Amino acid sequence: MTVKARETCELAIVGGGPAGLAAATLAAELGVEAVLFDEQPTPGGQVYRNVEATCRRQDDLPAFLGADYRGGLALVERFRASAAAYEPMSAIWQVTAGGKLGVSQRGEAYLTQARRVILATGAMERPFPIPGWTLPGVMGAGAVQTLMKASGLVPDRPTVIAGSGPLIYLVAYQLMQAGAPLQAIVDTSAQPLIRSAFAALPHLSGAAGELFKGLTWIAALKAKRIPMLAGRNLVAEGTSRVEAVSFEADGRRQRLATSLLLLHEGVIPNIQITTSLRCRHEWDPAQMAWRPATDEWGATSLDPIAIAGDGAAIRGAKAAVPLGRLAALDAACRLGHIAEGERDERAAPERAALARQHNFRSFLDRLYRPIESVRPLDDATIACRCEEVTAGDLRELIDDGFTDLNQLKSFSRCGMGQCQGRMCSNTVGRVLAERLGTGMAEVGHYRLRLPVKPLPIEQLALLKNADRNSKPILPVVAGDPSQRI
Ligand SMILES: Cc1cc2nc3c(=O)[nH]c(=O)nc-3n(C[C@H](O)[C@H](O)[C@H](O)COP(=O)(O)OP(=O)(O)OC[C@H]3O[C@@H](n4cnc5c(N)ncnc54)[C@H](O)[C@@H]3O)c2cc1C
């Protein structure tokens, strides 16, 4: 292997979605030595994943994925043309409070020291624990979209999409266009979109187009006679794989036989790095998720670390671009490339662009409050997939006196598997909060340990530029002995 360790950089940006691409492009324009690290092989993030290759395809996939997706190409092209350095296939497995990054790239690991860091690590699908959610054939709707964007893969078996959020209608529309055998959508939202949309219209200045786009997807699905049912209390049924989804509708239990069940109830910020750093976090009751506390430039409670895009709070791809640019302006100012006056002047149009998105996002948050994925879990439902711990196992431990979330983690092993708590943190917190009769803000979140991404021990042992005299190899968060591994 010949990976060249990058020893230092002025500004490290983690994540190649719209926030990271916009931040890197602007920072480089302002004379900052910016390096963008992304675990993906090509730029685009979740929303514009693989957009360069897809737009070159001669088949209909670019058309099926839609104009918004293809629009991401311009952002990627501006980034490619900029002076920002690009490190694809580079998973960041640690960031220290002093700005030192652990990079795992093409089978090798190294450390790099940045003067400032912008985390643009985006969002992940909200874990959706229902009975049977671990059966083969049950997947995230976003995961299927990822396969479609990355490899042009489309389901070839009867498919039901269940849950709520704008993404279920977008994915359903994209799959239908691509010829997937879509059987039905089971919408778990509290209120039907159409009635809410018309009520909200006067308050959505500047974003009515977005709303109508959603309504067009629904109209197209209706025209193809895809059943759209309202349902609650979902259960994935089957023995060795999913065979049906059942739900309550109109006061009775209904059942749809299916081979593929796609679940989705919105996305939540990806907070692995900020929780491992012990940045200050807040429980967001509107989005029902933890998020890092940031100022108006995206700066976190730790000096060299800022965050931009959906990793700070879910605001969508259109807001991620101005958020990335604001973080870049602040970084350029702190690093001495521009004065505060210039930073503030250049920030004005970005703030105006954000304001245009604000009302629409609040509308989406109200309309698509997760209901199914936050209702009390049955005892037999698996809360932690990696360690196969059920809600009932957790309740027994809580009743035995393990009433602190991180204590519960240590004793149940929830959050100590391959995903390092990404998938179960909120679920375990919910079970604890319910049992104690308190709220999520009170029970807190996991104290995440490094590495935040799976890292083969061989890479760690052969760490390219480690200071062999300093122990431990993984730097610890200053002053916090419990952070040692
Ligand atoms: C599965 C999924 C599908 C979605 N599809 C759509 C859609 O079709 N349309 C839409 O409008 N919105 C979609 N969204 C929402 C959309 O992702 C966001 O609104 C938008 O992409 C946010 O941009 P971002 O730059 O903040 O993050 P993202 O676009 O998510 O980019 C984050 C990038 O950081 C990388 N990353 C994360 N952690 C690390 C790490 N430790 N080391 C290195 N790299 C890392 C990720 O791989 C990714 O490339 C989707 C979200 C998800 C989770």
pLDDT digits (tens, 9 = 90+) for 301-346: 999 999 999 999 999 999 999 999 999 999 999 999 999 999 999 9
- CB 37 near ligand 1, within 6 Å: yes
Alpha-carbon Rg for the chain in angstroms: 22
> Which ligand 1 atom sits closest to the C-alpha of 124?
53
User: Does residue 145 sit in the same domain as residue 260?
Assistant: yes
pLDDT in tens, 416-433: 988 889 999 999 999 999
User: Does residue 274 sit in the same domain as residue 380?
Assistant: no
Three-state secondary-structure class, residue 469 = coil
pLDDT in tens, 157-206: 999 999 998 899 999 999 999 999 999 999 998 766 656 666 666 666 66
Across 11-36, average pLDDT: 98
User: Does residue 298 sit in the same domain as residue 253?
Assistant: no
CATH of the domain at 177: 3.50.50.60
Select from 265, 281, 300 the last residue of a domain: 265
Whether 219 is covered by a domain: the verdict is yes
User: Does residue 211 sit in the same domain as residue 282?
Assistant: no
- CB 19 near ligand 1, within 6 Å: yes
Select from 309, 333, 367 the last residue of a domain: 367
71-80, 96-105, 285-294, 455-464: least confident range:
455-464
User: Does residue 355 sit in the same domain as residue 386?
Assistant: no
Q: What is the pLDDT of residue 449?
A: 82
- CB 104 near ligand 1, within 6 Å: no
User: Does residue 47 sit in the same domain as residue 87?
Assistant: yes
Whether 465 is covered by a domain: the verdict is no
Whether 312 is covered by a domain: the verdict is yes
**Domain total of the chain:** 3
User: Does residue 213 sit in the same domain as residue 326?
Assistant: no
Three-state secondary-structure class, residue 372 = helix
- CB 238 near ligand 1, within 6 Å: no
Whether 3 is covered by a domain: the verdict is no
Select from 265, 298, 325 the last residue of a domain: 265
Whether 441 is covered by a domain: the verdict is yes
Is the pLDDT reported for residue 478 higher than 60?
no
Whether 130 is covered by a domain: the verdict is no
Q: What's the length of the chain? A: 485
- CB 147 near ligand 1, within 6 Å: no
User: Does residue 74 sit in the same domain as residue 112?
Assistant: yes
Whether 481 is covered by a domain: the verdict is no
CATH of the domain at 383: 1.10.10.1100
Type of residue numbered 432: L
Whether 63 is covered by a domain: the verdict is yes
Q: Of all residues in the chain, what percent carry a pLDDT higher than 90?
A: 78
Compute, in angstroms, the gap from residue 121 CA to the centroid of ligand 1. 7
pLDDT in tens, 438-476: 999 999 999 888 899 989 999 998 888 776 555 445 544
Range(s) of the domain holding residue 219:
138-265
User: Does residue 79 sit in the same domain as residue 21?
Assistant: yes
User: Does residue 351 sit in the same domain as residue 394?
Assistant: no
> Which ligand 1 atom sits closest to the C-alpha of 146?
1
User: Does residue 104 sit in the same domain as residue 150?
Assistant: no
Compute, in angstroms, the gap from residue 310 CA to the centroid of ligand 1. 8
pLDDT in tens, 347-369: 999 999 999 888 888 888 888 88
- Report the 10 Å Cβ neighbour count for 27: 31
Identify which of 371, 406, 420, 400 has the alpha carbon closest to the alpha carbon of residue 482. Answer: 406
> Which ligand 1 atom sits closest to the C-alpha of 452?
41
pLDDT in tens, 377-403: 999 999 999 999 999 999 999 999 999
**Integer Cα distance of 114 and 305 in angstroms:** 10
Across 90-109, average pLDDT: 96
**Integer Cα distance of 358 and 356 in angstroms:** 6
User: Does residue 258 sit in the same domain as residue 302?
Assistant: no
